[in-house]
Amino acid sequence: MSSDTLPRDFLWGYATSSGQIEGSPEVDGRGLSIWDTFSRQGNTTEDGRSSDFGTDSYIRWKEDIALMKSYGVNCHRFSISWSRVIPLGGRTDPINPAGIPFYRTFIQSLLEAGIQPMPTLFHWDLPQALQDRYKGFLNKEEIVADFTHYARVVFEGLGDLVKVWVTINEPNVYAALGHCIGAHAPGRSSDRTKSPEGDSLVEPYIVGHNLLLAHAAAVKVYREEIAQQGGSIGLVINANWAEPYDQTDQSIAAAERYFTICSLWFADPVHKGDYPDLLKEILGDRLPEFAPEEKVLLMGSSDFFGLNHYTTYYTKVRTTPAAPTDFRSQFFHDVEETITSPDGKEIGPEAGLPWVRPVPWGFKKVLRYLWERYGKDIYVTENGVICPGEKDMKKEEAVEDDFRIDYYRSYINVMAELINEGVPIKSYLAWTFADNFEWQEGYTAKFGVTFVDTETGDRTPKKSAGFLREFMGKKMGKHEASLDGGIPDKT
């Protein structure tokens, strides 16, 4: 292989999640999720809109598979809606007879199109009934048992069709944004303007602890009951790189603390069997402890490192104390992020969201770090960007997304360099296939390579979809013909 190529069996495609694309929240027996109810409050998303539409993919999934096939992908990561499979979520609750058959048909159609499925069991859309019943992931005994049951139902119904499973998506984000900052469902926070109850400095770590145990319990079921079908299973963690603001000891230590708080919080338990010592030092008795048997269950519970990565920050010691009501800053303790280096240069060009800036060298650093720390195959399961001003663009302008093309080109190139240096990176799944419901941003944050008209549901490929088809085809030695006529203008 030359330094800029990818293996011919490399997996690439697009990632999505059920809570962001399916819509049809009460169709065919599905129960409500916490994101259905949270987003319907009218003041929890930037545009005031709920997840009820998504991209209407529960209805239009056949069009989406046809489009993905025309984009040349060979893999698709998606998530399963827990409340579509078990509407009330619990281990003694009825199973929806329409749930597993829907996903089975969907997966079979992917396979027929030459696209390998990569399902995620939980991408934040907890059944509302479980949040109401016992506060969801705050209740260790109940949620671990219910998630294990749900996982078993899905594995038994779909396991013969799937070779790579993801248990939980970004538990670090679910715990922090949903139970500290209050910006995500279920919206718990010590900020009483956001939530009538919650403890921002305690609950994230209880929730994170229980997410890890639920993951490990599901993996145990898979390995003991399903793995003979030849698949692998793992956890996906968000890890944006922390670069020291300067080369002082203080900034270097701040970067280590930031990355530990954000990402090693979950990575070390599943690959090393316990929380990192630095996190224990930072949090003290606010960090729950694993019992000896739980450490055994966690150790090695991810067959690979599932990585979601978007950007890089400079990090340094905080110079002014966090305000008493600034729980986001308190979450990071004495560390703060900045996009500007000491010489005044910005870390990367401004994009369509303030927290996502293209920094391909940071992507290379985090990939190398994770390989050196854990020695596991790496699956890049999300990576993407929004073009500057894209949220206000009409279709004709939005489809000319050269900024996104430059982002993908630069990130894939540094990834390919590492692969050719021997780092075992097995997939690149871009976020995302189509403009969708983007959590607290509603429909204003447009990460997709497909423009979606939220009034009609019509899809229009953006320029980046064609670029990636050609680019990845060349990288993998499978040069595709010209896209003229290959991707429909609208489907």
Catalytic residues: 170, 382
CA dist., res. 135 & res. 142, Å (int): 10
Helix, coil or strand: residue 165 = strand
Q: Which residues pair with 306 in a beta bridge?
A: 236, 379
Phi, psi of 17 (to 5 degrees): -140, 150
Helix, coil or strand: residue 230 = coil
Phi, psi of 336 (to 5 degrees): -130, 155
End-to-end Cα separation, the chain, in angstroms:
37
Residues in the chain: 491
Tracing tokens 């070779």 back to the chain, one arrives at 163
CA dist., res. 385 & res. 486, Å (int): 25
Q: Which residues pair with 338 in a beta bridge?
A: 314
Q: Any residues with CB less than 8 A from the CB of 208 and at least 6 apart, and which?
A: 171, 172, 175, 265, 266
Amino acid in the structure at residue 238: N
CA dist., res. 456 & res. 464, Å (int): 22
Contact 447, 386 (CB under 8 A): yes
Contact 164, 12 (CB under 8 A): no
Contact 87, 30 (CB under 8 A): yes
- CA neighbours closer than 13 Å in the CB half-sphere of residue 276: 18
Tracing tokens 């968000």 back to the chain, one arrives at 238
Tracing tokens 């998303």 back to the chain, one arrives at 45
CA dist., res. 332 & res. 326, Å (int): 11
Contact 335, 317 (CB under 8 A): yes
* Listed residue (109, 94, 88, 93) closest to 31, CA to CA: 88
CA dist., res. 145 & res. 158, Å (int): 20
Which residues in 325-348 are b (16+ Cβ under 10 Å) and which e? eebbbbbbbbbbbebeeeeeeebb
Tracing tokens 């219910």 back to the chain, one arrives at 146
CA dist., res. 134 & res. 144, Å (int): 12
